[in-house]
Amino acid sequence: MLKYFKIESGRLSVAPNEEAADIVMMGSLSQEQRSVLVKEYEITEHTIASAFDSDELSRIEYDDDFTTIVFKKPKNYSAEDNFQFRVESFGIFIFKDWVLLLTDSDIPVMDERKFSKIDSLNTFVLRVLSFAIAHFNEHLKIINRINDDLEQRLNTSMENKYLLSMFSLNKGLIYYVSALNSNDTLLRKLQLGRSLNWTEAERELLEDIQIENGQSLQQANIYANILTSMMDARASVINNNVNQLMKNLTIVTISISLPTFFASLFGMNVKLPFGMNGDATVGSPAAFWFIIVICVLSVIAFLAVWMRKK
């Protein structure tokens, strides 16, 4: 992925080539592209790798010719991920006259709703950081809806798959809390702005981003605490559902065993009571219905006793 953009009239537009571009977005770097970044722009291999390392913490570094920002954002989620929410890093390299953006996933910088009123490179950088925080907020809402749905399914389920899905959600929230904490540290350092000359409007935007990141962090912590504290209770729900099923199966088994007992008893090679043997070859017509009545009454008596005790 290699894209060029330029700032025109407060928004971004596509640039024809690198010379005309104010912003260059790159991803899935080839060896040749890495060599260009290392040799021509003096970006170290370690710094390039950090921009694509999901375990890298958010940080800022100041070099002679550029400033490096490594920031965290959520990975794009799809149904195939099976409730696995993960984070990824991206790198912003701020030069004097242009900005290099290294990211594994495409960032919709042409979206005028999310990237509006861009009149400088610093504003663009802040818009990218704001987009990353907004992406966290969107995923937190999705996690909350998934959690509510799983909770409803657990009330009647006896399978572990919904509980395992909750473990996956909780694990993803832990990643999010860590990433948002790391982002918060970086945003505080950006406010110092040792080499980035922020205007008053840019400082206000940076403060808004920091506040939004703090709110996202608080929300992620709340969701993580709720999931953690309720995990044992939801596991108990599954156990109770299984116990209820076993109880119902036991009742059915006993109900079936009583008629079987009486039918087996009268099926023995013995004389039937109350003169129901009848003729040796024909037998008494009342014998069959007598046994059926006893079987039915035994089931009714058992269910009546069970309902009364319940």
pLDDT, tens digit, for every residue of 193-220? 666 788 888 889 999 999 999 999 999 9
Provide the CATH number for the domain formed by 2-241 in this structure: 3.30.460.20
Q: Where in the chain is the domain with CATH 3.30.460.20?
A: 2-241
Is the dihedral angle over the CA atoms 117, 120, 122, 124 positive or is it negative? positive
Asked which of 121-135, 258-272, 295-309 is least confident by mean pLDDT, the reply is 258-272
Query: What Rg do the C-alpha atoms of the chain give, in angstroms?
Result: 35
b/e 114-126 (16+ beta carbons within 10 angstroms → b): ebeebeebbbbbb
pLDDT of residue 193: 67
| Separation CA 255–CA 113 (nearest Å) | 67
Would you give the distance in Å from CA 240 to the centre of its chain? 26
Residues whose CB is less than 8 angstroms from the CB of residue 24 and which lie 6 or more positions away in sequence, other chains included: 2, 3, 4, 5, 18, 98, 99, 100, 101
Residue with tokens 């010379």: 19
Phi, psi (degrees; rounded to nearest 5) at 11: -145, 175
Average pLDDT in the 110-133 region? 89
Return d(Cα 120, Cα 7) in angstroms, integer. 8
273: confidence class by pLDDT, cuts 50, 70, 90: low
pLDDT score of 151: 78
Identify which of 71, 79, 151, 148 has the alpha carbon closest to the alpha carbon of residue 105. Answer: 71
> pLDDT class for 281, splitting at 50, 70, 90?
very low
Q: Is a pLDDT exceeding 70 seen at residue 233?
A: no
Q: What is the predicted pLDDT for the residue at 112? A: 78
270 has pLDDT over 70: no
Stated pTM of the model: 0.75
- In this predicted structure, the answer to whether residue 159 has a pLDDT above a threshold of 80 is no
Beta-bridge partner residues of 90: 71
Q: Cα(32)–Cα(30) distance, rounded to whole angstroms?
A: 5
